[in-house]
Amino acid sequence: MTDGSLLAEAPNKSRPVGRRPAPEPVAPPTAEPEKASRPSERRPVVPTVLDFFPLQEARSTEVHSFFDNLKVGRFTTTRCRKDGQLLWPPRTMCPNCHDAELEWVDLPMRGRIYAFSAVLAGAPLGMESDVPFNVGLVDLDGVPLRLFGRIQGAPWTSLRIGQPVRVVPVPLEDGRVFYRFQVEDAPSPLPPG
């Protein structure tokens, strides 16, 4: 895999984690060469079985709009037109009324930390060089959503429950995008590419 690290937080140190040093991940043979492809679509082939991040293009997922929106700085999800339920993560069926009439809505990009911890050891492949990193549950402002995610911009020792954070898109090395929470009083990371 591309080791999953995010451009926005380039690893600046590498040390063994867990109970024994982790050797370099060995990529298994790739399943199927990309059908290919216009040059603009070429990207590193990631063995899906070891890739944490969602496949994001229209050929792979029906909720590609989430990622399309995220790339232009919008944080969105689906809402059921019938019963008004805000659904996370983006769905293709409302699990409450089983209707498929969903619409895209913008979510607040600010929230407050409900709980947090940090991964100091035992990180998965591709995340070893991120260690230590913070994770937490964040209550988004004004909507009944409490989302889990990385919290960047401060060491875990200075985080506190109730602390304001905002959602930031972060580009992945292979052209995909994901999101993290950024503590409010720290400078913004690189803008999405």
Partner 1 sequence: MSAQRRVAVVGGATTKFGVRSCTWSELVQEAGRALFAAVPALRAEEVDSLFVGAAQPERFAFQSHVAPLAAELLGVTPTRVLQRTELACASGQSAIRSAYAAIACGLSDVAVALGVEKMNLPSMAEAYTSMACVMDRAWDGSHGATAPPFFAMVAQRHMLEHGTTEEQLAAVSEKNHRFANSNPDAQFYDKVFSREKLLRLPIIAPPLRLGDSSSMTDGAAAVLLVAEEFVQRYSGTPAWIRGSGQHSSWHNLANSGSLTDWPGLRIAGKEALRSAGITAHDLDLAEVHDCFSISEIIEYEALGFCPPGQGGAYALDGRSSLGGEVVVNPRGGLLGCGHPLGATGIAQTVEVYRQFAQQVPRARQVPDANWALVHNLSGSANVHSLLVYERGG
What is the spatial distance between Cα 134 and Cα 123, in angstroms, rounded to a whole number? Answer: 12
What is the spatial distance between Cα 170 and Cα 192, in angstroms, rounded to a whole number? Answer: 6
- 135 near partner 1, rule: CB under 8 A: yes
Query: What letter does residue 60 receive in the DSSP assignment?
Result: T
State in angstroms the smallest separation of the CB of 128 from partner 1: 6
- 10 near partner 1, rule: CB under 8 A: no
Q: Is the CB of 37 or the CB of 52 nearer to partner 1? A: 52
- 149 near partner 1, rule: CB under 8 A: yes
Place of tokens 């990631």: 46
What is the spatial distance between Cα 81 and Cα 85, in angstroms, rounded to a whole number? Answer: 8
State in angstroms the smallest separation of the CB of 59 from partner 1: 16
Report the candidate in 141, 143, 188, 145 with the shortest Cα–Cα distance to residue 169. Answer: 188
Q: Name residues contacting partner 1, limited to 50-69 (CB under 8 A).
A: 50, 52-54
What is the spatial distance between Cα 97 and Cα 128, in angstroms, rounded to a whole number? Answer: 41
- 192 near partner 1, rule: CB under 8 A: no
State in angstroms the smallest separation of the CB of 86 from partner 1: 10
What number of H helices and E strands is found in the chain? 1, 8
Q: Is the CB of 37 or the CB of 92 nearer to partner 1? A: 92
State in angstroms the smallest separation of the CB of 39 from partner 1: 27
Q: Is residue 64 helix, strand or coil?
A: helix
Piece in contact with partner 1 (CB under 8 A), picked from 37-45, 97-105, 126-134, 184-192: 126-134
What is the spatial distance between Cα 163 and Cα 125, in angstroms, rounded to a whole number? Answer: 30
What is the spatial distance between Cα 112 and Cα 26, in angstroms, rounded to a whole number? Answer: 39
- 20 near partner 1, rule: CB under 8 A: yes
Binding stretches for partner 1 (CB under 8 A): 17-20, 22-23, 25-26, 50, 52-54, 88-89, 114-128, 130, 133, 135-137, 145-150, 156, 161, 178, 180
